[in-house]
Amino acid sequence: MNDFIDVLIVGSGISGLRAALEASKYSDNVKIISKLPVMRSHSVSAAGGINSVSVSHDSLNSFIADTIKGSDYLADQDAVSILVNHTTEEIKYLESIGVNFDKSDKAYSANKLGGAEFSRALNSSSQIGLSIMQRLYEEVKRNDIQILENWHVLDLIHKDGTCYGLIAFNKDHNKIKAFFSSIVILATGPAGHIYSNTTNSTNCTGDGVAIAYRAGAYLKDMEFVQFHPTSLIGSNILITERARSAGAYLFNKNGERFMTKYAPSSLELAPRDIVSRSIINEINDGFGLKDSKYDDYIELSFTHLSDSVLNEK
Ligand SMILES: Cc1cc2nc3c(=O)[nH]c(=O)nc-3n(C[C@H](O)[C@H](O)[C@H](O)COP(=O)(O)OP(=O)(O)OC[C@H]3O[C@@H](n4cnc5c(N)ncnc54)[C@H](O)[C@@H]3O)c2cc1C
């Protein structure tokens, strides 16, 4: 069967491209299938940074501890450990394929983001997602990994607990086709658009979770959805956490810096779930600002920051 594929990856965001490059070390018959053109994957929007131990007084153990603490001790600690222990080599890999991380005097310039004891978030001219996507995409092309774009995967082909491939709909030609593969990897991104308020793009509809569920997979931890605390009212375009890292304050309608109440030491840089919950608490308690067109909101203020901080950040 000529069409048989060794490894078929659904999704061409950072996860899908990276998985394809890794799989291509073991097979020259790896393909990516995606409902979008590569550079429209949501990964291009990531702007806050990618965490890695980069300052001398930081350590992998501290990174692991912050991550577990930030999860209210609910995270799978083995998974956290694997994630953190691979970051240094992954940053080196990304550099090796051409991602330019911001540096000052040859040392990484890292920002301190929410829930982190040390500055860890590396960036690339404020466009970390775009930068990584561009380099991974180039690398995928250089390795001759075929990308099938505009194919919307509908379901897996499976029998008795074994997956044999998938069924997909081609949006350009209105046709449905079966793809057969020994290994299918779902890298279909987030599901933010099942909620009315989200900073995810409209393509983030949780398809992979639904596809796996329909095929009989067990789902776990479905309640762990991160809501980014700050976005533009109306459009929900994300205001990156670097704004709070640079010193922006959150105020309620009485001009109170309410994070002093919820997280007295970390304030606006508490983990995102704490900041998001605090904002919603303030609004639900009647302390939100009013707008004639939109729901009540909270103010993110930069007015106390100097021009040089604003320009630099
Ligand atoms: C605004 C914003 C900013 C962020 N900033 C940061 C940050 O600074 N640092 C950080 O670490 N994280 C950040 N995140 C989170 C991070 O961007 C995501 O976790 C990551 O990009 C997800 O990558 P992905 O490859 O899993 O998904 P995506 O990039 O969303 O890719 C999903 C892929 O799956 C494909 N797909 C989906 N369904 C189907 C289907 N049915 N059939 C075929 N293909 C399908 C899509 O076409 C797409 O190619 C941010 C998230 C948001 C929303």
Beta strands 175-186 and 5-10, pairing class = parallel
Q: Are 242 and 228 in contact (CB under 8 A)?
A: no
Domain parsing of the chain, residue ranges: 5-42+138-214, 48-126, 242-312
pLDDT of 234:
87
Beta strands 121-122 and 151-159, pairing class = unpaired
Supply the residue whose CA is at minimum distance from atom 44 of ligand 1: 34
Give the phi and the psi of residue 285 in degrees, each rounded to 5.
-85, 5
Give the active site residue among 18, 242, 244, 272.
Answer: 272
Q: What averages of pLDDT result for each successive group of 10 residues across the chain (313 residues)?
A: 87 98 97 97 93 93 96 95 97 97 92 92 94 98 98 97 97 97 97 92 95 96 92 91 92 98 95 95 96 92 89 76
Distance from the CA of 43 to the center of ligand 1, in angstroms?
Answer: 4
Find out whether the beta carbon of 43 lies less than 6 Å from any atom of ligand 1: yes
pLDDT of 308:
86
Top mutation candidate among 41, 148, 211, 213 for ligand 1, by most atoms within 8 Å of CB = 41
Find out whether the beta carbon of 36 lies less than 6 Å from any atom of ligand 1: yes
Find out whether the beta carbon of 206 lies less than 6 Å from any atom of ligand 1: no
Supply the residue whose CA is at minimum distance from atom 14 of ligand 1: 46
pLDDT of 1:
47
Burial of 153 (C-beta count, 10 Å sphere; 0-12/13-18/19+): buried
Top mutation candidate among 34, 197, 213, 240 for ligand 1, by most atoms within 8 Å of CB = 34
> Over the stretch 241-269, which tens digit does the pLDDT of each residue have?
889 999 999 999 999 999 999 999 999 99
**How far apart (Å, rounded) are the C-alpha atoms in residues 284 and 297?**
10
Write out the two tokens for 190.
């987030």
pLDDT of 160:
94
Asked: is 5-42+138-214 a CATH 3.50.50.60 domain? The reply is: yes
| Atom from ligand 1 closest to the CA of residue 168 | 42
Told to judge if 214 belongs to the known catalytic residues of this protein, a careful annotator would answer: no
> Over the stretch 21-57, which tens digit does the pLDDT of each residue have?
999 999 999 999 999 999 999 999 998 899 999 888 9
pLDDT of 56:
87
Which residue from 195, 172, 203 is spatially nearest to 13, judged by alpha carbons?
Answer: 203
What is this model's ipTM? 0.98
Distance from the CA of 16 to the center of ligand 1, in angstroms?
Answer: 9
In CATH terms, 242-312 corresponds, of 3.10.330.10, 3.40.50.2300, 3.90.700.10, 3.30.470.20, to 3.90.700.10
Distance from the CA of 159 to the center of ligand 1, in angstroms?
Answer: 29
Find out whether the beta carbon of 158 lies less than 6 Å from any atom of ligand 1: no
